[in-house]
Amino acid sequence: MFESFFSIAFLTQSLRISIPYALPAMGATFSERGGVVNIALEGILLISAFTTTVGTFYTSDPLFGILCGLVAGLFVGLLHSVITVTFKADQIVSGIAINLFAVGITKFSCQLIFDSSSNSARIVGLEQWNILPSLPIINNPFIVGSVILLIISNFVLFKTRFGLRLRAVGEHPIAAETLGVHVNKMRHIGVLISGALAGLGGAWLAIDQHSFTDGMTAGRGFIALAAMIIGKWKPMGAIAACVLFGFAESISIRLQSVSHAAQFIQMIPYVVTMIVLSGFIGRATPPAADGIPYEKEKL
């Protein structure tokens, strides 16, 4: 059994499981680097998974379904940014409200469309893209796409003028404003990027599981936030943490097949999260203005 933990199949499974953690974690770095806490990731994942399922179900085209999930993520991100940036509402309260709304609206819509509040009909996946069956990691378009997005995200955040401005409004928005940076505009963009990437994560959940299931996100949005903190608000660090969580979850899945203590084994990814957060990352310091609404009149 332990030899299987070092196989290509196990590595592929771990990376595949890491995707719905990694994409929202990458998105969270943009949102929080700009100064907006986005705990609505869980709700974005859930709504995007549902819209991906509906789009794929009615068209039998998974690419259209993924596009639906991406657009849904953008819209929910826009909602969060309008509430928190434009109207300067409490960012935590907004995120919690969106998460609760996502649970209710997906359950209601699932009952309306699929005549079941717990699960949808089965949808097609991306099997037709399996053009390299002998190379399972490269063969997965979402794994390859996530790696590309990681490289792009890291470059944009730390090597471009846009990234510099986004980080500036998250650290010292008043100083950024005096230099001509539109603080609220940058914060809106950061949250929208966060929503889009989380939307892709939700799309992958639906496509990978070939259906929507009530509560299928199972806390992945919150673990993505933990990964971002472990990664110290850097895309590379966040992805490394997500791969760790994916590895832990993959181990728990394997162990469930040989153990009767299923409930205990299912705790492994969450226990790993708590252990890493509490003892192995040192002091994690967020951007100085993270979570603080910007009031222009203070200038």
- CATH value at residue 83: 1.10.3470
In a domain, 1, yes or no: no
Cα separation, 132 vs 180, whole angstroms: 50
Burial class (CB in 10 A: 0-12, 13-18, 19+), 83: buried
Cα separation, 194 vs 175, whole angstroms: 24
Cα separation, 27 vs 116, whole angstroms: 31
Cα separation, 70 vs 206, whole angstroms: 12
Instruction: List pLDDT tens digits, range 284-293.
Output: 788 999 999 9
| pLDDT for 161 | 96
In a domain, 116, yes or no: yes
Quote the number of domains for the chain.
Answer: 1
Cα separation, 177 vs 197, whole angstroms: 27
In a domain, 212, yes or no: yes
DSSP structure class, residue 84? I
In a domain, 2, yes or no: no
Using alpha carbons only, how large is the chain's radius of gyration in Å?
19
Give the other-Cβ count within 10 Å of 209's Cβ. 16
| pLDDT for 176 | 94
In a domain, 3, yes or no: no
In a domain, 4, yes or no: no
Domain that holds residue 154: 9-126+135-298
Single-letter residue type at 232: K
Strand, helix or coil for residue 208: helix
| pLDDT for 299 | 41
> Mean pLDDT per segment of 10 residues, for the chain of length 299 residues?
63 86 95 96 97 96 95 97 95 96 96 92 78 61 87 95 96 93 96 97 94 92 91 91 85 69 66 68 79 72
- 187's tokens: 């914060």
Cα separation, 65 vs 207, whole angstroms: 8
For residue 184, give the nearest of 75, 286, 88 by alpha carbon: 88
Helix (H) or strand (E) holding 222: helix 220-230
